[in-house]
Structure 1
Amino acid sequence: MSKSRIWFITGASRGLGRAFAEAALAAGDRVVAAARNVEPLEELADQHPGRLVPLALDVADRGAVFDGVERAAAAFGGLDVVVNNAGGMLYGMVEEATEEQIRAHLDVNFFGAVWVAQAVLPHLRARGGGRLLQVTSMGSGGGMATVGFYGAGKAALDSVSEALAMEAEGYGVKVTIVQMGGYNTGLFTTGTTNTDPLPEYAALRTRMEEMWGDAVAPEPATAAPAVMELVALPDPPRRLIVGSQSFDHVLEMGRAQTDAYRSWEHLSRLAPG
């Protein structure tokens, strides 16, 4: 890549997207920052004249994504680093969620990320390579009550991104699945759609809320150094857990899953397949 890289970041008006945009600008790079509402980006654009272009974009609209990526690539003459970050939260039990809520959630968290990946790949190939960061979650390896659809979208994006990495690497495009830990992004407040609670789940809902607790999550800016180092690597990993505590949790979940498989190995081996 060139010394001054060109970034395209979705969900850039707040949270992790905003933190990554600020870190890229601090490194002397140029950024096209996409969000449904770009008003929060105006001050940042004023602070970095000629190096930040806000782009109003709803990633759930496939046509708008392709048009937006064309404008993003034209803004600075190409794309080097794409951060597929836009997303939201659907909070509630599986039974409670409406069809409209589920489809709207996956339209952003899964399909929106797919549309962005499809739209940017021709530009990265034309550049002779580049980086595509697929932002998922440290919890995408398994579902959990109240956030099942969030986990489902991230798990689907994980799987598609593994395939995408194999398909794109021959063109010099490096895909990394960035499994983010918990950061103070506003995901559970401004980024959340809540289901209408059913009384049958009141006790479980209370237990889950107690489990989430009141601990203060670290600020998104604390995740930016890991991402900046990641995009500078000549041979980046296909997966990266971002967050020290999250790293430990993911390894613990993996060990627990392996132990569960082993405990029922005798039943699995009754079948020859």
Structure 2
Amino acid sequence: MAKTIFITGASKGFGKIWAKAFLERGDNVIATARNLDNLDDLVQKYGERVFPIQLDVNDRDAIFAAVQKGKDYFGRIDVLINNAGFGLFGAVEETTEKQARDQMETNFFGLLWVTQAIIPIMREQKSGHIIQLSSVLGVVTFPTLGLYNASKFAVEGLTESLVQEVAPFGIKVSMLEPNAFSTDWGGSSAVHTESNPLYEKVKADLFASFTPDFFGDPTTTTAAVLKLVDSENPPLRLFLGKIAYPAVKQNYEARWAEWNEWKQVSDEAHGF
């Protein structure tokens, strides 16, 4: 049976790749973007199975209206893919207040508002699947991406609570955790801080650590996303790419070692 998928940030990158994959197999897609011109090719090829909506995810009222329009058009919404977001590159000290707030407004609050808008519809249906686009950088961190890391860590905490809250309504919740892929995330859609020479070395060392196969091919993620959407028992987290898993494994082994080293101090702090 065809599903109806609501995708934010569907004009390029993962959002557009996944929208095409859903449409190609016969699903319906509610595709949101700031610039609807970037969705014209989908409309021309797939016709009424695409419902394009102009949307800025920083506008909470517009989000609720868009979700309702999509539901009215197709009659239901089976899957939400909360994909809209951007990368902020720069050291924590370099980051301006506006840059920090913009990063959180889009990557966290925008995702929160879409989630809030979709829950009543899925609750009424007694079914649905909310998929948040997090990142492996919501589980481990890179230097000079501190605000982006923070936005995705916030998504992780929100979603871990959400899955417990909506399970009684028949709503499933997952997070996609991609490692680096060759999308526009680090290109024209990215924001960069004004560089401080003191952080040039840490930035250079980070880029020097990237191997030739560090960046995955975004088009090859479609099979994994389709499998996640079709799963009767989807995971809370699904890593995308072969770099993510070993990075997380190494990080958590180091965490456990440090926590165990300080366990006695932690226990003593309890008081009794």
Q: TM-score w.r.t. structure 1 length?
A: 0.94
Q: Structure 1 residue aligned with 2:62, among 58, 61, 64?
A: 64
Question: Does 78-87 or 205-214 show the bigger shift?
Answer: 205-214
1:41-74 CA-to-partner distances (Å, cap 9, x unmatched) read 1012111111112211110111111111111112
* Secondary structure of 2:134 counterpart: strand
* Secondary structure of 1:146 counterpart: coil
How many pairs align? 271
Match of 1:154 in 2: 152
Whole-Å separation in 2 of the counterparts to 1:222 and 1:123: 31
| Residue 261 of structure 1, CA deviation | 1.7
8 Å contact 1:136–1:180 — kept in the other structure? yes
1:216-255 CA-to-partner distances (Å, cap 9, x unmatched) read 6222221111111111111212222222331222222211
8 Å contact 2:86–2:107 — kept in the other structure? yes
Q: Structure 1 residue aligned with 2:247, among 228, 249, 263?
A: 249
Residue ranges of structure 1 left out of the alignment (5+ in a row): none
Q: Structure 2 residue aligned with 1:23, among 21, 31, 35?
A: 21
Match of 1:93 in 2: 91
Question: Does 200-209 or 221-230 show the bigger shift?
Answer: 200-209
8 Å contact 2:214–2:243 — kept in the other structure? no
- What letter matches 2:197 in structure 1? P
Match of 1:132 in 2: 130
Match of 1:45 in 2: 43
Whole-Å separation in 2 of the counterparts to 1:134 and 1:211: 28
* Runs of 4+ that moved beyond 4 A: 213-216
- What letter matches 2:59 in structure 1? D
8 Å contact 2:55–2:66 — kept in the other structure? yes
Question: Does 88-97 or 34-43 show the bigger shift?
Answer: 34-43
Give % identity. Answer: 34
Q: Structure 1 residue aligned with 2:181, among 177, 180, 183?
A: 183
1:71-220 correspondence to structure 2 within 5 Å: 71-212=69-210, 215=213, 217-220=215-218
Question: Does 61-70 or 196-205 show the bigger shift?
Answer: 196-205
| Residue 214 of structure 1, CA deviation | 5.6
| Residue 37 of structure 1, CA deviation | 1.5
Match of 1:231 in 2: 229
Whole-Å separation in 2 of the counterparts to 1:139 and 1:74: 36
Once superposed, what is the RMSD of the aligned Cα atoms? 1.5
Whole-Å separation in 1 of the counterparts to 2:192 and 2:26: 40
Q: Tell me: CA distance 1:205–1:243, structure 2 relative to 1, closer, same or farther (3 Å).
A: closer
Q: TM-score w.r.t. structure 2 length?
A: 0.95
| Residue 7 of structure 1, CA deviation | 0.4
Whole-Å separation in 2 of the counterparts to 1:198 and 1:213: 26
1:80-120 CA-to-partner distances (Å, cap 9, x unmatched) read 01000111011000011110111011100000000000001
8 Å contact 1:9–1:21 — kept in the other structure? yes
Q: Tell me: CA distance 1:195–1:110, structure 2 relative to 1, closer, same or farther (3 Å).
A: same
